[in-house]
């Protein structure tokens, strides 16, 4: 496989770390963004000690200007971006009748508007080069909804709407656009949930366990090779059978 430049937003998180490691293992040059430089540099050094070299660029994906500056910095360091994984996301959970405009807007901005903010600066280059891979990291809760997550579910569902529209617009340019929708993954955030709550979640999963970040990274990697060129506009559910929609 030809070595490409890959940008993974939110790459320093649990799922993001597995994605950047998987793409690097495939031979690609990989970058991610950060907002806290001290934490990001420590994360970078930890990976480097393990033989994985990941480039860093500052950038708030929720701001168009900062997102574009981040993309240009990645291009300066590594070259034009051919693989983009829109992985950055946050939660601000509460029932809708108690939700504030700030809780709504923060989640929509970081989880959904960011997809526009980061994709827009790379799409024209992909079209010119006639090759590109764009993957959105959505969620099972964007497919089935979730109590207390109207903002999150709306944003995650919107990500796949973006996918299927962009896929149609760019299919003739050698660009594929797909979505991965993880179920409950054993990240630090999920493992911090009280054990009795986690047990109730696991009881709803047919495989009888939480997923691992590496399993999501594998799903992302499936869409990247040249051999995946005929797969576009797809939503790959990776949830242990918890939700089996068409």
Annotated catalytic sites, by residue? 152
CB 230 within 8 A of CB 133: no
Token pair recorded at residue 44: 């970078």
Q: CA 40 to CA 45: how far, in whole Å?
A: 9
**Where does the chain show beta strands of DSSP type E?**
5-8, 29-34, 55-58, 83-86, 132-137, 175-182, 235-238
CB 57 within 8 A of CB 81: no
HSE-up of 147 (CA within 13 Å, CB side)?
A: 0
Angle (CA) 11-55-117 rounded to 5° is 55
Angle (CA) 63-67-72 rounded to 5° is 155
Q: CA 72 to CA 82: how far, in whole Å?
A: 13
Under DSSP, the state recorded for 63 is S
Q: CA 91 to CA 14: how far, in whole Å?
A: 15
């Amino acid at each position: 496989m030809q070595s490409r430049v890959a940008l993974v937003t939110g790459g320093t998180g649990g799922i993001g770390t597995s994605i950047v490691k998987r793409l690097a293992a495939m031979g690609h040059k990989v970058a991610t963004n950060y907002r806290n430089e001290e934490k990001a540099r420590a994360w970078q050094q930890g990976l480097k000690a393990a033989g994985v070299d990941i480039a860093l660029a500052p950038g708030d994906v929720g701001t168009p200007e900062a997102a574009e500056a981040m993309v240009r910095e990645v291009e300066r360091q590594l070259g034009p971006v051919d693989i983009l994984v829109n992985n950055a996301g946050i939660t601000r959970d509460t029932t809708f009748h108690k939700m504030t405009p700030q809780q709504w807007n923060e989640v929509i901005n970081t989880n959904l508007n960011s997809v526009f903010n980061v994709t827009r600066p790379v799409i024209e280059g992909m079209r010119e080069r006639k090759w590109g891979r764009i993957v959105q990291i959505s969620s099972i809760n964007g497919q089935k909804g979730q109590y207390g997550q109207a903002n999150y579910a709306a944003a995650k569902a919107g990500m796949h709407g973006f996918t299927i529209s962009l896929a149609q617009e760019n299919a003739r340019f050698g660009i594929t656009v797909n979505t991965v929708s993880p179920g409950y993954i054993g990240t630090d955030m999920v493992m911090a949930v009280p054990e009795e709550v986690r047990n109730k979640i696991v009881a709803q999963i047919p495989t009888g366990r939480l997923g691992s970040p590496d399993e999501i990274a594998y799903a992302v990697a499936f869409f990247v090779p040249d051999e995946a060129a005929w797969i576009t506009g797809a939503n790959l559910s990776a949830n242990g059978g918890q939700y089996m929609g068409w």
